[in-house]
Structure 1
Amino acid sequence: MKKLVLIAVVALVSFAANAQAKISFTSETIDYGSISKGSDGVRVFEFKNVGDAPLIISDVKSSCGCTVPKKPEGPVAAGDSGVIEVKYDTNRVGPIRKTVTVYSNADEPIKALKIKGEVMGADKSVLEKTK
Structure 2
Amino acid sequence: MKKIMLGVSALCLVAFTSCKEDATAKIKSENVAEAAARDANSGNFATIEFEETEHDFGTIQNGTPVETVFRYTNTGTSPLVVSDIKSTCGCTVPSDWTKQVAPGETGEFNVKFDGKGNGLVTKAITMTTNTEKGAETVRIKAMVEGGANAMQPAAQSGAQSIMQQPVRKSSTQPGHEGHNHD
TM-score using structure 2 length: 0.55
Give the number of the structure whose alpha-carbon radius of gyration is greater: 2
Residue of structure 2 aligned with 1:85, choices 86, 107, 110: 110
- Asked whether the 8 Å contact 2:83–2:99 carries over to 1, the reply is no
- Asked whether the 8 Å contact 2:62–2:116 carries over to 1, the reply is yes
Deviation at 1:78, TM superposition (A): 0.7
Is 1:25 the equivalent of 2:50? Answer: yes
Count of residues in Structure 1 that have an aligned counterpart in Structure 2: 116
Deviation at 1:84, TM superposition (A): 1.9
Of all paired residues, the percent bearing the same amino acid is 34
Ranked by relative contact order (alpha carbons within 8 Å, sequence separation 6 or more), the top structure is 1
Runs (5+) with no aligned partner, structure 1: 1-8, 123-131
- Asked whether the 8 Å contact 1:37–1:93 carries over to 2, the reply is yes
Q: 1:110 to 1:13 in 2, by over 3 A?
A: closer
Q: RMSD in angstroms over aligned alpha carbons?
A: 2.6
Deviation at 1:28, TM superposition (A): 0.9
More strand by share: 1
TM-score using structure 1 length: 0.74
Q: Distance in 2 between matches of 1:12 and 1:116?
A: 43
More helix by share: 2
- 1:7-22 aligned at under 5 Å gives the runs 12=37, 14-22=39-47
1:5 maps to: none
Is 1:36 the equivalent of 2:61? Answer: yes
Residue of structure 1 aligned with 2:70, choices 45, 48, 58: 45
Deviation at 1:38, TM superposition (A): 4.5
Residue of structure 2 aligned with 1:121, choices 135, 143, 146: 146
